Amino acid sequence: MRLSLLDRSRTRHGHPQAVALEHSVQRAVEVEQLGYERFWVAEHHAVPGIASGSPAVLLAAIGARTERIRLGSGGVMLPNHRPLLVAEQFRMLAALSPGRIDLGVGRSLGFTEPVRRALGRLEASSEAFADEIAEVRDYLEDSAPLTARPADAGEVALFVLATGAGVETAAELGLPVVIGGPFLDSPELPDRLAAYRRAFRPHRGSSPQIIVSVDVLIADTDAVARQLALPEVWAMVHSRSTGEFGVLEPVARIRERALKDREVRRIEQGLDAAVAGSAQTVRRRLEQLLERTGAQEILATGATFDREALSASDRELARLLRG
């Protein structure tokens, strides 16, 4: 079982937003030493809680501080970019960090309508997404009318971040698929993944590959781990009323709030969805998830306000899966 990490450069209450980027670099250095397979970063725009709007820029900084771990995007949102520019950026990364670059692509638009308007794209169909992925791949494989430079940068591995129709797109193009979020709880999930495997069209010898992206936090007890998961869950719950995904707050600050009943319910639902608990609890939850999906790799996405506790969780998860 391969273990990887998606870090979204979460900003924290009381800290400058720019510090989140250095935190991401430091975390990559740490998990490389722990034996993680990949370290991916995200693309979000005009979101107070996330400092990373340009995966390629952040990956270049991380590549300069690491040696072995694969580096990639979880993901580059193709509706925001022209395929040639994406191919050029990731070929440059491949030249700077040879043999280590992944390109995960998705089709999510901006978090709010003003952001979507600023990015110049208000909708993105599954058909357009498939065409744009194929165009990026043509550039990366030197089969497009133009050549993305540098042409001799080496291979860039391509992945599809998917829910729903994106799984079908990955199968059609013969690409690995990364699934996560509410899709993991969908009753349709086993059938959709079975269909992915049946419909998979190999491309240059590729075979079906499923990566599961899930929030994972480990602590000494289930109760402590749920406390660690609270800041991330609260940011999501609060965004439903404010329209703004905010910074990670300390647990005590959240507990001081006069929460509405519906917020309490949503928090509990969010905590239940996260794989947060003791090592024994997390092992059981992950085994159940892997059995349900047949995934070959876990892409852990946990975040919390307490960076020391987050580092300890990363270490424990590496020990857990090695054992």
Domain assignment of residue 252, yes or no: no
Strand pairing partners for 277? Answer: 218
Predicted pLDDT at 125: 87
Residue 314 token pair: 């990363």
C-alpha angle 161-166-170 in degrees, rounded to nearest 5: 80
Q: What average pLDDT is seen over the chain?
A: 95
Q: What is the DSSP letter of 243?
A: S
Specify the long-range contacts of residues 131-138, CB closer than 8 Å, at least 24 apart: 132/78, 132/79, 132/83, 132/105, 133/78, 133/105, 133/158, 133/160, 133/169, 133/173, 133/175, 134/173, 135/83, 135/84, 136/78, 136/83, 136/86, 136/87, 136/103, 136/105, 137/173
> Running DSSP on this structure, what letter comes out for residue 296?
S
The CATH number covering residue 103 comes to: 3.20.20.30
- Indicate whether 189 belongs to any domain: yes
Number of domains in the chain: 1
Give me 198's structure tokens: 């049946």
- pLDDT in single tens digits along all 323 residues of the chain: 899 999 999 999 999 999 999 999 999 999 999 999 999 999 999 999 999 999 999 999 999 999 999 999 999 999 999 999 999 999 999 999 999 999 999 998 887 888 889 998 877 888 999 999 999 999 999 999 999 999 999 999 999 999 777 999 999 999 999 999 889 989 999 999 999 999 999 999 999 999 999 999 999 999 999 999 999 999 999 998 888 899 999 999 999 999 999 999 999 999 999 999 999 999 999 999 999 999 999 999 999 999 999 999 999 999 998 87
pLDDT score of 191: 93
Per DSSP, the residues of 119-178 read HT-S---HHHHHHHHHHHHHHHTT-SSS-PSSTTS---EEEEEESTHHHHHHHHHT--EE
Strand-pairing partners, residue 103, are 73, 158
Residue 242 maps to a domain? no
Domain assignment present for 263 = no
| pLDDT value of residue 112 | 84
Burial environment of residue 91 by CB neighbours within 10 A (0 to 12, 13 to 18, 19 or more): buried
Let me know if residue 261 belongs to a domain.
no
Q: Is residue 22 part of a domain?
A: yes
Residues 6+ positions from 147 with CB-CB distance below 8 Å: 139
What residue numbers bound the domain in which 159 lies? 2-217+276-322
At residue 95, the pLDDT reads 98
* The pLDDT of residue 214: 96
Q: Please report whether residue 109 resides in a domain.
A: yes
pLDDT at residue number 107: 92
Task: Report pLDDT for 15.
Answer: 97
Residue 13 phi/psi, 5-degree rounding, is -55, 130
pLDDT at 122: 76
Say whether 210 sits in a helix, a strand or coil: strand
For the chain, count helices (H), then strands (E). Answer: 12, 10
Measure the CA–CA gap between 177 and 281, rounded to whole angstroms: 26
Q: What is the largest CA-CA distance in the chain?
A: 59
Q: What is the pLDDT of residue 124?
A: 81
Q: What is the DSSP letter of 237?
A: H
77 domain-assigned: yes
The pLDDT of residue 150: 96
Burial of 322 (0-12, 13-18, 19+ CB in 10 A): exposed
